[in-house]
Amino acid sequence: MKLWSNSFKEGEVIPAKYGARNLNLSPHLAWDEVPGGTKSLALVVDDPDAPAGTWVHWIVININPSIKQILENKVPMGVKQLKNDSRQEKWGGPSPPSGTHRYFFKLYALDVAKLECDERTINQEIKKHKIAEAQLMGKFSATKK
């Protein structure tokens, strides 16, 4: 499975408009080579460089495998967004307190059509049902004052 974005390239800087202190738009994401037997997809975006430990910025589950992309600042019909670590059911853009952080966009192919879980149990459910995984990493730096 492959995951990419028209908004930024692997390992490169995520543009400011996607940051929480700017427009807070969710970036474009696209994928292909979804394995046979996939009944749904799930997306988790996190920052392992956060001072208090890994910070989750976005969780989208129950993505129909016929969907091939998420457009900028839109979510596909029928998906469910779980609460991120800011306690919001939406994209929470990068906002590192200092330095440059890495943001991992992880797409999972799952063997179930619907996950019945919340943000506390998402990782266990993904582990149980994962067929394949694709990842994209972008960087974002703290705003200079």
In the predicted model, what is the mean pLDDT of residues 113-138? 97
How many domains does one find in the chain?
1
Return the exposure string of 87-103: e unless at least 16 CB atoms fall within 10 Å of the residue's CB, then b: eeebbbbbbbeeeebbb
Strand partners, 109: 41, 132
DSSP 3-state assignment of 124?
helix
Domain span at residue 56?
Answer: 2-141
User: For residue 101, what pLDDT is reported?
Assistant: 97
Tokens coding 64: 């129909």
CB 55 within 8 A of CB 47: yes
- pLDDT digits 0-9 by tens, 25-76: 999 999 999 999 999 999 999 999 999 999 999 999 999 999 999 999 999 9
- pLDDT score of 134: 98
Tell me, what CATH number does 39's domain have? 3.90.280.10
Q: What is the pTM of this model?
A: 0.96
In this prediction, residue 145 carries a pLDDT of 44
Question: Where does the pLDDT of residue 143 fall: very low under 50, low under 70, confident under 90, or very high at 90 and above?
Answer: confident
Average of per-residue pLDDT across 16-23? 96
Beta strand ranges found along the chain (DSSP E): 2-4, 29-32, 40-47, 55-63, 69-70, 80-82, 100-110, 130-141
Q: How many residues does the chain have?
A: 145
